[in-house]
Amino acid sequence: MSDGTPPIATLEKTLRQLQRKLERSEWHRVDLENQHDRDQHLYRRLQADLEAAQREAQIQLALERIRTQTSLMEHSSELVATSAVFHEQLLALGVPTEFSYVWLPDEAAGQHQFWATWTADEDGETVHRSKAITYGLDKEEPYTAACFAAWESDERFLVDFVPPADIAHVFEIWDELIGNAEHLSPERFSDGIFYAEGYMAYGCFGVNIRREPAAEEQAILRRFALEFERAYTRFLDLQKAEAQARESQIEAALERIRSRTMGMRSSDELSDVIGRMFSVLTHLDLDLTGCVIWVIDPETRSARFWMANAERPDEPDSYHIPYHDHPSYRAFLDAWDRREALWTYDLHGELKATWDAVLFSETELRRLPDEVKAGMAAPDRVLLTASFTPFGALHVASLEPLADESAAILRRVATVFDQAYTRYLDLEQAEARAREAQIEVAMERVRSRALAMITSDELLDVAFTIRREFAGLGLECGAFWHTRYTPEVYQKALTSLDGKKLAAVMELPRDFASNPALAAWEHGDEKVGVFPFDAEAGAEYMHHMATKGKFSEIDPEAITVEMVREHGGITFVQARTSHGEIGYSLWGEAEPTEEAKDVLVRFTTAFDLAYRRFEDLQQAEADHQALLEEKALTERALDELRATQAQLVQAEKMASLGALTAGIAHEIKNPLNFVNNFAALSQELVEELTNETDPEERATLLADLQANAAKIEEHGRRADAIVRSMMEHARSGSGERHVVDLNALVAEYARHAEHAVRVRHPGFEARLSLHLGDGVGEVELAPQEIGRVLINLIDNALDATRQRAEAEGDGYAPTVTVATCRTVGSVEVRVGDNGPGMAEAVRARVFEPFFTTKPTGEGTGLGLSLSHDIVAQGHGGTLAVESAEGMGATFVLTLPTGDRP
């Protein structure tokens, strides 16, 4: 043995040997009495050693049983059974403990736990009961201070006594711990109570007995305390492993929710995610009888409940809960406003009864099966534990306070739901944007069709487009129509049910709207109206339309009374436009979705655009017709104007020809005079020749006659050349161009213009100065056209000097200068005068058609305009004017020659 005591078997053998010796040595009794006494003493000593060894064996057996129980622990909850073994073995060893206990202080947390175990008699059977209670730690409290002192001492053992006077107070403290043990009452310990405690690493193991514990009992307690340290270490290891396993289980469950959340591709999958969440909670051993997910609308303060039952946790249902002024609902909203991480609400009594009544009658929870509502209403008191998130809350209902672990799981699942709902909102927003893009594309197609309208008749095509795009968005609709309100009638056009063709075009009298709801909507301001008719009311309405309407078009497959009855009624959905309404039909007494109503309203803006386009086209068509009529009148006026203009142009040409003719007439007078004079002289010479007989005289007369004939021929040719020049100028001309001597052309037409002015204004004398540059040479041009330009420019210059001479009198010397020169790539003709000059306003308009500064009757205003066109358009040149008022004017004619530098 560990304390030096001989083995039991050896002692027994020695005793037997001694007994045999005594029997054999009886006859030595006298001699051996002294030896007998010594043997008796040895026997008693050996007997004591045997009893000690047997006691130690009992204690070792008790400790081994405790160790075995400790090693068999597979779950931390089995510590209760292990504590019962400790208590049972103490009793088996004869330690008269009333109850044993474990003291486990936690200074960091400011608390200490007591774990008591006692024996009870239940139905004649002895059982062991245990209970653990955690108290706040007060190290100044006398008994607690004594425990800490003993724990920190070298002895690590404490025996103390609670006197009778303190028994009642102590049992008040112990009431929560051992109050269920009826035999452990203060009366049982009227003489006081001892407690003995053996300390170990985690606190102490102790017993309460009604007498002071013996030394052996104290030693046993010390050894039991060390064994409990081992057991509690095993307990902590198991607890840690279980916590890790539980954490892994919880995290795996939460990860399944997260994975499902990230796998969401549509907001419609939120229900599936919530179902997965309820299933996970079920697998985590949480009671889902009263588990609810709240989604709160911050604007309306309404909520949507997601609930699932324990039998089908993966099939949740949602229920809308409108805001209501009940204290319990307000309490939830207040806790949500504070974003309480963990919040418990005690719902009981009248408060619970009234809230149940509101929820089951005024919210969608009334759809719950009656047995479910009855089960929810049955408890008089429930504890609602909730964890709030930015979007709402996750709450469970229980009859007892929620365990710490369950509360922690609740909080973590709520956080995961917060992530799931964030994902849902992101998807919802993405879907909304995609849906908005679809709607906007449909709207753009309608707007494009409206803007593509060429005639007003295409308004019906826009209505067809709206119906096609509306249905293309997945929105249910039947026949589609648009109605125009006029003071006298409703003008309505209706598509077929499939929207592929026109079903009817009609006019209905203004008193047609026999339905009060339709009439009220027409005169109201609501954007959308929904008007369901049952079978009979719908049939009556369609019959009323058929009899009252004036149809210009009707399709046999249009909606009929029989169809309405067959489908159990009809519903009209219509939206207000700037000129009336657009709408569509649904079979039966239907309720369109909010999206359908919203899209219809949005299509009204597109249809209003089409209608404005329709009105514009109608006006344009009327304007076009008026323009056609006006065009016909204008074309007639234009033809007359063109004829007049042609006459004016010809008149201008004739005026130019007249000026030229006058000059030519003046020039042709000289050769004609010579012809006449030499002809008369020749006639006299012929008469003399007839009468002359002298040969010499006859020869002289014949020579004179021959000389006269030559002169007549010379001056005849001169007259012929002048006439040919006049005839060429008078031609309308094809603008044929050929090479001419520019200086000769300028000199000739300058002379003609000068003579013309003298003819028109006898007595007017002006000096015409020609400065014809050397090397001007020949230029390719249309001589008749350029001649006309020169005549016009020189004639205008002479007229300008004449006007100034008439105004100023003798002190003024009229002068016109005509100069030519060749520059690089062009030739230039400058016609200048010292006349009155031009103001800026006149100079800016001088080349405009019909603009003239001459008195009425003296000019057409076309001369300079035609001259400008001849130069610029006919020859690619320029015609410009340089002038200042009072400083004369110079017209510069520039013609290209094609020369290169």
Q: Which of 123, 114, 116, 175 is nearest to 144 (CA)?
A: 114
Give a yes or no: residue 35 inside a domain.
yes
Q: How far apart are CA 830 and CA 794, in angstroms?
A: 10
Give Cα 871 to chain centroid, integer Å: 65
What CATH number is associated with residue 93? 3.30.450
Q: What is the 3-state secondary structure (H, E, C) of 260-290?
A: HHHCCCCHHHHHHHHHHHHHHHHHCCCCCCC
Q: What is the pLDDT of residues 249-291, one digit of tens each?
A: 878 877 887 787 777 677 667 777 777 777 777 677 665 455 7
Query: What is the pLDDT at residue 657?
Result: 52
Mark which of 29, 49, 72 sits at the end of a domain. 72
Are 108 and 174 members of one domain?
A: yes
Q: How far apart are CA 572 and CA 529, in angstroms?
A: 8
Query: What is the pLDDT at residue 663?
Result: 52
The domain in which residue 141 lies consists of 77-243
Question: Which token pair is 141?
Answer: 């409290």
Give a yes or no: residue 482 inside a domain.
yes
Question: Which token pair is 236?
Answer: 């902590």
Q: How far apart are CA 274 and CA 366, in angstroms?
A: 21
DSSP 726-789: HHHHHS------EEEEHHHHHHHHHHHHHHHHHHHSTT---EEEEEE-TT--EEEE-HHHHHHH
Are 225 and 351 members of one domain?
A: no
Amino acid in the structure at residue 591: E
pLDDT (average), residues 460-477: 89
Are 157 and 185 members of one domain?
A: yes
Alpha helices in 153-214 (DSSP H): 164-178
Question: Which token pair is 6?
Answer: 């001989």
Question: Which token pair is 569?
Answer: 């009624």
Give the pLDDT band (50/70/90) at residue 654.
Answer: low
More confident residue, 830 or 143: 830
Q: What is the pLDDT of residues 492-502, one digit of tens each?
A: 888 888 888 88
What CATH number is associated with residue 323? 3.30.450.40
More confident residue, 15 or 4: 15
Query: What is the pLDDT at residue 565?
Result: 92
Are 386 and 442 members of one domain?
A: no
Give a yes or no: residue 463 inside a domain.
yes
Q: What is the pLDDT of residues 379-406, one digit of tens each?
A: 999 999 999 999 898 888 888 888 888 8
Counting Cβ atoms within 10 Å, is residue 563 exposed (0-12), middle (13-18) or buried (19+)? middle
Total tally of structural domains belonging to the chain: 5
- State whether residue 127 is helix, strand or coil: strand
Give a yes or no: residue 756 inside a domain.
yes
- Least confident range from 152-161, 294-303, 651-660: namely 651-660
Report whether pLDDT(41) > 80.
no
Mark which of 408, 428, 448 sits at the end of a domain. 428
CB atoms within 10 A of CB 415: 15
Q: How far apart are CA 14 and CA 45, in angstroms?
A: 12
Cβ–Cβ under 8 Å, residues 98 and 119: no
More confident residue, 546 or 343: 343
Give the pLDDT band (50/70/90) at residue 800.
Answer: confident
Give the CA count within 13 Å in the CB-facing half-sphere of 747. 10
Question: Which token pair is 459?
Answer: 């308004």
Question: Which token pair is 23?
Answer: 């029997």
More confident residue, 645 or 41: 41
Amino acid in the structure at residue 129: R
Are 800 and 761 members of one domain?
A: yes
Give Cα 63 to chain centroid, integer Å: 75
- State whether residue 384 is helix, strand or coil: strand
Average pLDDT value for the chain: 83
Q: Which of 700, 677, 678 is nearest to 689 (CA)?
A: 700
Give a yes or no: residue 867 inside a domain.
yes
Report whether pLDDT(44) > 60.
yes
More confident residue, 819 or 512: 819
Give the pLDDT band (50/70/90) at residue 853.
Answer: confident
Give the CA count within 13 Å in the CB-facing half-sphere of 49. 20
Please write down the long-range contacts of 330-336, taking CB distance under 8 Å and 24 or more positions apart: 332/294, 332/386, 332/393, 333/296, 333/301, 335/386, 335/388, 335/393, 336/294, 336/296, 336/388, 336/392, 336/393
How far from 139 is each of 59, 108, 111, 487, 675, CA to CA, in Å?
34, 13, 10, 96, 164
How far from 782 is each of 749, 773, 789, CA to CA, in Å?
14, 21, 11
Cβ–Cβ under 8 Å, residues 184 and 178: yes
Mark which of 39, 72, 105 sits at the end of a domain. 72
Give the pLDDT band (50/70/90) at residue 582.
Answer: very high
Cβ–Cβ under 8 Å, residues 210 and 96: yes
Are 88 and 163 members of one domain?
A: yes
Positive or negative torsion for Cα 445, 447, 449, 451:
negative
Query: What is the pLDDT at residue 598?
Result: 93
Are 411 and 542 members of one domain?
A: no
Provide, rounded to the nearest whole percent, the portion of the chain with pLDDT above 70: 88
Q: How far apart are CA 313 and CA 648, in angstroms?
A: 103
Are 597 and 539 members of one domain?
A: yes
Q: How far apart are CA 832 and CA 425, in angstroms?
A: 89
What CATH number is associated with residue 743? 3.30.565.10
Give the pLDDT band (50/70/90) at residue 651.
Answer: low
Are 350 and 499 members of one domain?
A: no
Report whether pLDDT(209) > 70.
yes
Query: What is the pLDDT at residue 1?
Result: 43
Provide, rounded to the nearest whole percent, the portion of the chain with pLDDT above 90: 23
Query: What is the pLDDT at residue 725?
Result: 58
Report whether pLDDT(873) > 80.
yes
Q: What is the pLDDT of residues 76-86, one digit of tens each?
A: 677 788 888 88
- Least confident range from 129-138, 368-377, 662-671, 786-795: namely 662-671
Q: How far apart are CA 46 and CA 520, in angstroms?
A: 119
Amino acid in the structure at residue 328: S
Give a yes or no: residue 1 inside a domain.
yes
Give a yes or no: residue 693 inside a domain.
no
Query: What is the pLDDT at residue 732?
Result: 41
Contacts of 434 (CB under 8 A, 6+ apart): none
Are 380 and 444 members of one domain?
A: no
DSSP 469-536: HHHHTT-----EEEEEE-SSEEEEEEE-TTSSSEEEEEEEEGGG--SHHHHHHHTS--SEEEEEEEHH
Are 607 and 488 members of one domain?
A: yes
Give a yes or no: residue 646 inside a domain.
no
- Least confident range from 25-29, 376-380, 676-680: namely 25-29
Q: Which of 751, 533, 771, 552 is nearest to 662 (CA)?
A: 751
Report whether pLDDT(680) > 70.
yes
Are 276 and 314 members of one domain?
A: yes
